[in-house]
Amino acid sequence: GVVAIDIAGPYYIPKEMPSIDKKDFMTNAHSRHGFDRFYKEARDAELSTTVHSGEENHHAVYEEMEYVVDVLKPHRLGHFVQSYRYPDLLEKVKEANIELEICISSNLATKAVSGFEEFRTIFSIFDKYGIKYTLCTDSTYLLKTTIANEHELYNEIRLFK
């Protein structure tokens, strides 16, 4: 049977849309597709829930991440590295006890994170706010990585400045 649900990918939000309308746009778009209902049903059924969000820093990344935390309320967040820019979101993630899945190779390959220095900042801020995170792989074949490689990168980022 089904044991978990997961969605990935940012929702398109028009650039010209005023900031105040972006979260409403996300809510309406996801409601049309049933994501809010699916996530509520999954939580009610005690299934694990994950949403991949906040990987790239785009014009509506805050609203995207806020919607995911406030409405979908997943147990885990794939990537979510851009959240380090927003203390209020980090407080919500901490309060909701949501764990982040960090894919270092993927974030570097997609340029979602500029390099080791930015990762040092991200991890330091996550630690400051008590954010739980785990290291994961993403597209192991395409990125030619393994979980052991992700741990080596993490150690290099954290231990060698």
> Residues with catalytic annotation?
55
Name the pairing type of β-strands 133-135 and 99-102. parallel
Give the full edge-to-edge strand order of the sheet including 4-7: 4-7, 48-53, 76-79, 99-102, 133-135
**How many CA atoms lie within 13 Å of 2's alpha carbon, on the beta-carbon side?**
12
Name 53's bridge partners.
79
> Are 49 and 77 within 8 A, CB to CB?
no
> Are 82 and 122 within 8 A, CB to CB?
no
Contacts (Cβ under 8 Å, ≥6 apart) of 85: 57, 62
Cβ of 137: how many Cβ atoms within 10 Å?
A: 18
